[in-house]
Structure formats: C-alpha cells, structure tokens
Amino acid sequence: MLTILIAFVFIGLINLCYYLGFLKFAFAKNENPPAYKNLPVSIIICAKNEAENLKNFLPVILSQDHPDFEVVVINDASIDETLEVLEDFQSRDSRLKIVDVQNNEAFWANKKYAITLGIKKAKKPYLLFTDADCRPETSQWLKEMSAHFEEKKSIVLGYGGYFIQTRSILNKIIRFETLFTAIQYFSYAGWGKPYMGVGRNLAYTSEEFFAQNGFATHLHIKSGDDDLFVNQAANKRNTALCFSPLGITRSVPKSDFKSWFTQKRRHVSIASHYKVEHQFMLGLFYTTQLLFWILFFILLFGPFWQAALGLLAVRWVVQGMVFYNSGKKFGETDLFWVFPFLELFLISAQLIIFIANIISKPTHWK
C-alpha cells in the first residue's frame, strides 16, 4: 500500500503542476487592444443543412459594428432550404457572398474542400471563422477578434461557448468540457505551445493560409479544419489570444448524449494527428488525471486515506481557482459548483471514447 501511496503522490504532483500552470491564464487580465484597427475582414461560415440557424443568427453576424467586412457563407451541398435562405439575405445585403458547393467524387463530404473554396472567394485579407449555429455575444465581436492581428500575429484564438440551458445536465457537461478545453488551449498558447483552436471562433490571415498550403497536409482527414490547421501553423510568435467577453460566440449545443458522444469521438480522433510534443503533453495530462482518481479510490479504503484526502483537497483548491476565474472570463461561473463531478464524468467518458475509437472509426462532417 505504501508503494501505491508513493505512486499516488508522484502522479498527483505531476497533474497538479498542470493546474498550477493553468493559473497563469485563469488570473490573466483582459488586455483590451489599444485601439480597434478596423481591418478589412471576411467572416467565413460553412453551412450544411442550416436553414433555420442561418435565419436566427446571420442577422447578428451582418449587424456587427465594423466598417469594412463581408460575410462569405458556403452552402456545403445542403438538401434543405439553406441556399434559398442565403439568396434571400443576399438580396437585402450585398455584403453577403455565397459559395454553392456540390458534392463531387474526389471531395465527397469534405468540409475542408468547402472552406477552401470560401477562402478563395473572400476578398478581404483577414479571415474570421464561425459556424452557422453560432451567435456572437455582442456587436463588437468582429472588432475584438480582428484587433488582435498585428504585424507578426497572423492567428487569433477565441472562445466559442454554448448557450446555457439551466435545467439540463447534458448542457452542463458540454459547457464544462468546452471550458476545460479552452483553459488548456489558451494556457498552452500562453506557454508558447499553441496546439489548437475552435472553428466556432477562430481567425487567421489569408496569407498564413496560403503560406501553409491550406489544408493540403491533412486534406485526407475529413475533420480538423480548425485544430489541425492551428496545430500545423501556430507558434509562440504568430499566435494571439482573445478572451474578452465582447469577443465570445455561443453555439447551439447537442440535445442528446448520443449526438454529443459522436461529436466527441470525432474530436478525440483528430488529436492523434497533432504534433508529437502536443500529443505527449495532452496524453500525460489525461493519464495523470485518470491514474490520480484510480489510486485515490484504492487508498481511500486503506491506512493512508487521510493522505489521499489531503492531496485531493489541495488539488481541489487549485482546480477551483482555475475553473472559477476562467469561468468568469467566459460567463461559465455556474459550472464551478459542480466541477468535481463533471471532471469525473469527463475522465470516464474520454476513456470510453478512446476505447470506442480503437474499435471503430468515428463518422465525420455531416
């Protein structure tokens, strides 16, 4: 049992070091850009069977408080009224550009192919990406995200959260997982190790896109148009962070566990294509989380239960500071009160997802 205690302390300290590192982001002050630059921006949205969401959210996109922007929406082989909805909007607002993509044999159901066509259609040099089911929190979203572009900053990572549904357990799980992921990719970027971004709120220059030869190195992987591109292109010199409350987007969350589980299987499968150093950092973090709890429950029923509870208490204090202060940044403070339960659920779900992905490959873009 003493050996288990030593292993528990060792693993717990490694895991705790990650959370201590996350504190830097959790307590970071939002440094608003000194002045909005009013850069020429193309907002790019890929839509597949999103007629209703476009009706609800496209007006918010078009009403952004910015003097020089266009909105490029790619209709990715939709079978609903997406194209008709877009044409109606376009007839009333010339800033809306439509790219109508039809499936072909070479690029069947490939979102990256559709986005590439949208980027080629864009007339502005700065590109801001979001999804058809996303709504910016404010009319300043475009200004906030684009203001972080500088001479050497060609990639801007933003936060894409989900709408709050107060009585839904699934909603809390989805929002906690999203917050947890954001804490990691913002923190790692702050350490000079940017490894991913989310397509619900991500910006980069067209120059950076073409310098990387677009999605060519991972075009065969149907998912990962956002995180794989960032993983390939981002570094400590060219990446900026936007975590202003004015620069947040919210999306429509999955409404059932099966859909959410399928979505997470896709996301987890993409991580295996990250750079080796990023896979190691993420893998070590998850492994120490899993082993911490396994060893904790073993020790809880033995002579060293007090030591186990003591280390757990220290870990919870540090975690609490991370989740509460990060949650304040993104309007997710209600998750603080249940983070121990949500963490345990996510660790278990990730283990099941990992096993499921070994057994069979997940499906991709709708």
At 140-158, the pLDDT tens digits run 999 999 999 998 999 999 9
Q: What is the pTM of this model?
A: 0.93
3-state secondary structure of 215: coil
**CA–CA distance, 239 with 261 (Å, rounded to integer):** 30
Higher pLDDT, 183 or 271: 183
The overall average pLDDT reported for the chain is 92
**What are 344's two structure tokens?**
């345990």
* Residue 272 backbone dihedrals phi, psi, to 5 degrees: -70, -10
Instruction: Please give the Cα distance from 248 to 142 (Å, whole number).
Output: 10
pLDDT at position 35:
67
109, pLDDT greater than 70 = no
Residue 173 pLDDT > 50: yes
Share of the chain above pLDDT 70, in %: 95
* Per-residue tokens: 263: 């979505």
| pLDDT, position 33 | 58
Here the tokens at position 31 are: 């440094």
* pLDDT at residue 365, rounded to an integer: 46
Res. 106: pLDDT tops 70: no
| Overall average pLDDT of the 218-242 stretch | 92
Q: What's the confidence (pLDDT) of residue 358? A: 82
Quick one: pLDDT at residue 283? 95
Q: Is the pLDDT of residue 176 over 50?
A: yes
Which range has the worst mean pLDDT, 68-72, 101-105, 214-218? Answer: 101-105
Under the banding of pLDDT at 50, 70 and 90, the label for residue 363 is low
Q: What is the per-residue pLDDT across 254-296, written as a single tens digit (0 to 9) for each?
A: 989 998 988 888 888 888 899 999 999 999 999 999 999 999 9
pLDDT of residue 110: 78
Residues 6+ apart with CB under 8 A from 10: none
Identify the pLDDT of residue 265.
85
State the pLDDT at residue 262.
86
**222 confidence band (pLDDT: 50, 70, 90):** confident
DSSP 163-211: ---TT-HHHHHHHHHHHHHHHHHHHHHHTT------TTSEEEEHHHHHH
Q: How far is CA 191 from CA 6, 177, 178, 230, 323, in A?
A: 29, 21, 20, 15, 18
The fraction of the chain above a pLDDT of 90, given in percent, is 80
pLDDT band at 354 (very low <50, low <70, confident <90, very high): confident
DSSP 362: P
Helix (H) or strand (E) holding 76, with range, is strand 69-76
Nearest CA among 52, 33, 43, 38 for reference residue 72: 43
pLDDT at 366 over 70: no
What's residue 25's pLDDT? Answer: 96
Residue 18 is predicted with a pLDDT of: 97
